Amino acid sequence: MLLLRSLVFQVYFFASVAIASMSIFLMWPFPFAVRSAIARHWSKSMLWVGRIVCGLDYVIEGRENIPTEPSVIMIKHTTVFETYTQLAIFPPQTWVVKRELLWIPLFGWGLAAMRPIAINRSAGRYAVIQVIAQGRARLARGIWITIFPEGTRVPAGQTKKFGASGAALAREVGCLIVPVAHNAGDLWPRRGLIKKPGLIRFCIGPPVDPAGRPAKETNRIVQDWIETKMCEISVGYGAPSE
């Protein structure tokens, strides 16, 4: 039954991504807020279907930590869950992504319409310069920037070195960094099909001000908070919320 439920969810995921991506692409001539609203509606549908079909309940902790001004969001990346959940939680946003994602039919078209910062991950310092330049323009328009600082999905319980672009962008622009931890990887293993029922805690930490600090020091502060919180919330998980 667990396998069947997971398969049903996966079918919905692929079908809904195709529909949402095409809808967003067709809205390209319209304001960004219109495309963002479609993405937010899709993310809420994913959360609802995940809860009903797979028992993936969730709770959002730390909403009071979300700044009022556009900021950089740094999220622990272990599953697909956080990639859509943040759309429903934070103000209109775009992402720093690897450019190859734009080449995927349908999905890549919709992603491109959301004005991501598509980088060549092997470009080194040039990629950081690109993130700063394009991120500054997005933030000036009120669009938040989401970054998965480890650059790829990491198995639950593991961590990787944070890239410098997010911290460098926040310092150059003078905005805050919002750290996010979650235990979705305990229920939805990296590259795994089976989704175990349980409670996912999506935790938003206190904003970090990068002013006056090197990017490495800012990354250390953000990573320390995320990994400490990951350890705290990954020691078992509670019953679904009411």
Does the pTM exceed 0.95? no
Residue 31 has pLDDT above 60, yes or no: yes
Does CATH place domain 2-233 in 3.40.1130?
yes
pLDDT of residue 235: 52
pLDDT of residue 160: 92
Residue type, 213: R
pLDDT of residue 240: 38
Sheet with 56-61, side-by-side order of all strands: 56-61, 198-204, 177-182, 72-75, 144-147, 93-98, 117-119
**Alpha carbon distance 113, 106 (integer Å):** 11
Confidence of residue 125 (pLDDT cuts 50, 70, 90): confident
pLDDT digits (tens, 9 = 90+) for 179-223: 999 999 999 987 778 999 999 999 999 999 999 999 999 999 999
pLDDT digits (tens, 9 = 90+) for 132-153: 999 999 999 999 999 999 988 8
Residue 238 has pLDDT above 50, yes or no: no
pLDDT of residue 185: 93
How many Å separate Cα 22 from the centre of its chain? 20
Count CB atoms within 10 A of the CB of residue 122: 8
Percent of the chain topping pLDDT 90: 87
Count CB atoms within 10 A of the CB of residue 132: 18
- Give the containing element (helix H, strand E) for 38: helix 32-54
pLDDT digits (tens, 9 = 90+) for 197-207: 999 999 999 99
pLDDT of residue 242: 34
